Chain A
Amino acid sequence: MREVAVVSSAIYQVEALTFTTDVQLMVPLINEARSAVGLTQADIGFTCSGSSDFLAGQGFSFVQTLDAVGAFPPISESHVEMDGAFALYEAWVKLQVGEVDTALVYSYGKSSPGSRRDVLAVQLDPYTVAPLWPDAYAVAALQARLLLESGAVSAEGLAEIAVRSQHHAVGNPNALRASAGATVAGVLSEPVVADPLRASDIAAESDGGCVVVLAAGDRARSLCERPAWIRGIDHRIDAHGLGVRDLTRSPSAALAAQMAGAGQDRLDLAELHGPTTSQEHILATELGLGADTVVNPSGGALAADTLMAAGLVRIAEAARRISSGGADRALAHATSGPCLQQNLVCVMEGE
């Protein structure tokens, strides 16, 4: 396998990008990530992005966002209607093939102009589930209820996840929900939003974007003092129908972690894309994380969940901690679809 590493990243997440278009959001972010390693678009071999037209409310919105890249003279480019972590996977494959030595990956989501709870309903089975128009929090609450009733975790256990996220998010400029004083009792006293989920159990909705620059082999070493080498990356999918799955489990997450070699050595940290505390609990179990692994040192997706970018943000956050020397081996996870249907696991190491 060809050595490929994250050499640079840029993240920006806020509550709402009221007067800023997707293009205006991405121009400074893309330039920040490229120039941090001294690259211009002419030095980038392949560009891949992830976004959703359902958030923009217009078809082919991602084509407009290419204005932010400076796609002239014409570039080699691709797009996935998925989280940017899956765009990163496509770029990683392109680097494996050996066609290119560098890749620019970006993704963004501006969900504030619409209703995120309703937009997410259109990803459900279009014949028997979507017509019922279940909002995303209600669907996640069905899963959380099953999890609590199974005895796998208690309401206090979920609140502990929320509290840990809020503590870790302090000092993260891209986190929306951070509090050094958060307590389990405080979380449990919040009213339920979608019973049994309380406000702190559900990710803070954000608008924003993320950019990652990948490079292979010695090119990565020349660009970055301590690249975050991707030692394993894999994504797997479970059945689409909610009724045919055991919603307290996520076999696709477990298999992706196994294929990515997550358990072959100790993990210093794991950045998990769990849009609810219940989903984060399921992920930590399926990925086999031990007590010596710090979960979501950035606060994770609970602290700020930018649709289409939250998974790529996890990779960027984990890679930064490796490049800074704060960690030697890290796991980053991204999810897509309802109730953890599809999962990507990326294992990175320093040299």
Chain B
Amino acid sequence: MTDTPVPHEVPADQVAEGPPIQLPPSISDVEPVLSVRTPIRLEYDFIPSAAAQQYLRAYASKRILGNRSPVDGAVFVPPRGVDPRNGVVADEMVDLVDTGHVGSFCITHLPIPGRKDLPVPYVSAWIHLDGADIGFLGLVAGCAAADVRIGMRVRAVWKPDAELGATAENVLHWEPTGQPDVPIDEAGNRAWALKQSAAGGGEDA
């Protein structure tokens, strides 16, 4: 949340056009109300779930945890304690490596207000860790934006050890390893579909 002050007067060119308002004579000379401040403030004390707590604590020591589905073995990262495809509890924790590949990506040319540390263009990517069956979001840096591609192998660039904490911000970005790309037909969620059809299941493959 930002503390941007609420303007007391809306500039005329920002007021929606509409038919002129006919005020009753008794209030015709009263200054019109153009905005109302509603000073309700709602505060929440969030406690991460057990799965999220384990994940964040491990993340603080550069370990990445996932949950394995008891139904089809799919590994989900970050772990949420459930397998969302099958609607069942998934509490088996799996240690994952900090290398993977780009499943998909997006190059953004507009700056994020308040993020001066993020020069444009920046690359958001769906990072598929080796051993995980879904991707999770990260930044790709360490190469030109134009060189990022689906299937490109990457590794985590962690914050200095002294700055690590139980937060999602421990990985600064993901950088290319220079290893051969994952073939595009096997990259991202396609890897899971291939695994399923190889296993003889996967009506959804």
Interface check A121, CB cutoff 8 A: yes
- Return chain B residues, CB-CB under 8 Å to A73: 203-204
Q: When the two chains form the complex, which single residue of A30, A72, A113, A118 contacts B85, counting CB atoms closer than 8 Å? A: A72
Q: Is B163 an interface residue (CB 8 A)?
A: no
> By the criterion CB–CB under 8 Å, are A67 and B82 in contact?
yes
User: Do the beta carbons of A114 and B204 come within 8 Å of each other?
Assistant: no
A residues in contact with B49, CB < 8 Å: 19-21, 24
B80 A131 Cβ-Cβ under 8 A: no
Contacts of A122 in B (CB 8 A): 40, 42
Query: Quick check: is B32 within 8 A (CB to CB) of the other chain?
Result: no
Kindly name the residue among B37, B85, B87 whose own CB sees the greatest number of chain A CB atoms within 10 A: B87
Please determine whether B204 and A72 come into contact, CB atoms closer than 8 angstroms.
yes
Give, as a whole number of angstroms, the nearest-CB distance from B52 to chain A. Answer: 8
What sequence of 0s and 1s flags, for each residue 186-205 of chain B, a beta carbon within 8 Å of any chain A beta carbon?
00000000000000000110
The winner among B47, B50, B53 for most chain A CB atoms within 10 A is B47
A-contact bits for B4-23, CB 8 A (1 contact / 0 none):
00000000000000000000
Q: Closest CB-CB distance, A152 to chain B, in whole Å? A: 32
- Name the B residues within 8 Å of A18 (CB-CB): 47
Q: How far, in angstroms, from A24 to B84 measured CA to CA in the complex?
A: 11
Contact of B84 among A54, A70, A130 (CB under 8 A): A70
- CB–CB A127/B36 < 8 A: yes
Q: Does A31 lie within 8 Å of B46, measured CB to CB?
A: no
Are A31 and B50 interface neighbours, CB within 8 A? no
Does residue A264 face the partner (Cβ distance < 8 Å to B)? no
CB-nearest residue of chain B to A126:
B38
Check B82–A68 contact: CB distance below 8 A.
yes
Near B by CB (< 8 A), chain A positions 2-39 give: 18-21, 23-24, 27-28, 30-31
- Say whether B147 faces chain A, with CB atoms less than 8 Å apart: no
Docked CA distance A335–B196 (Å):
47
In the complex, whether A89 has a CB less than 8 A from a CB of chain B is no
- The residue from A57, A69, A126 contacting B46, defined by CB atoms under 8 A apart: A57
For chain B, residues 40 to 72, give those with C-beta under 8 angstroms from any C-beta of chain A. 40, 42-47, 49-53
Contact among B45, B51, B83 with A113 in the assembled complex (CB-CB below 8 Å) = B45
Chain B residues whose C-beta falls within 8 Å of the C-beta of A41 in the assembled complex:
87
Most buried by A among B39, B45, B84: B84
Whether the pair B44, A114 counts as a contact (CB closer than 8 A) is yes
Q: Are A131 and B39 in contact (CB under 8 A)?
A: yes
C-alpha spacing A28/B88, complex, angstroms: 8
* Contact in complex: A67, B39 (CB < 8 Å): no
In the bound complex, what is the Cα–Cα distance between A70 and B204 (angstroms)?
Answer: 14
Report the separation of the CA atoms of residues A126 and B81 in the bound assembly, to the nearest whole angstrom: 38
In the complex, B89 has a CB within 8 A of chain A: yes
Q: Please determine whether B40 and A131 come into contact, CB atoms closer than 8 angstroms.
A: yes
Residues in chain B near residue A130, CB distance under 8 A: 38, 40
B86 at the interface (CB under 8 A from A): yes
Closest chain A residue, CB of each to CB of B53: A19
Q: How far is the CB of B61 from chain A (nearest CB, A)?
A: 21
A118 touches B40 (CB 8 A): yes
Provide the bound-state CA to CA distance between A162 and B113, in Å.
54
Query: How does the 8 Å CB contact mask read for A117-130 relative to B, with 1 for contact and 0 for none?
Result: 01101100011001
Residue of chain B at shortest CB distance from A19? B50
- Which residues of chain A from 243 to 264 have a CB within 8 Å of any chain B CB? none
- B-contact 0/1 string along A61-105, CB 8 Å cutoff: 000001111111100000000000000000000000000000000
Instruction: Please determine whether B47 and A131 come into contact, CB atoms closer than 8 angstroms.
Output: no
Q: How far is the CB of A184 from chain B (nearest CB, A)?
A: 37
Q: Complex: how many Å from CA A72 to CA B134? A: 15
Q: Is the CB of A114 within 8 A of B43?
A: yes
> With A21-B81, A114-B42 in contact, do A70 and B87 touch (Cβ < 8 Å)?
yes
Closest chain A CB from B193 CB (angstroms) = 13
6 nearest interchain CB pairs? Answer: A70-B87, A67-B84, A57-B44, A72-B85, A21-B49, A114-B44
Q: Sample 8 A-B pairs with CB under 8 A, ordered by A number.
A: A19-B53, A27-B88, A67-B82, A71-B87, A114-B42, A115-B42, A122-B42, A130-B40
Contacts beyond the supplied A19-B53, A66-B84, A133-B39: 12 A-B pairs with Cβ under 8 Å: A19-B47, A19-B50, A23-B84, A27-B87, A41-B87, A67-B87, A68-B87, A70-B85, A70-B88, A113-B44, A113-B46, A113-B47
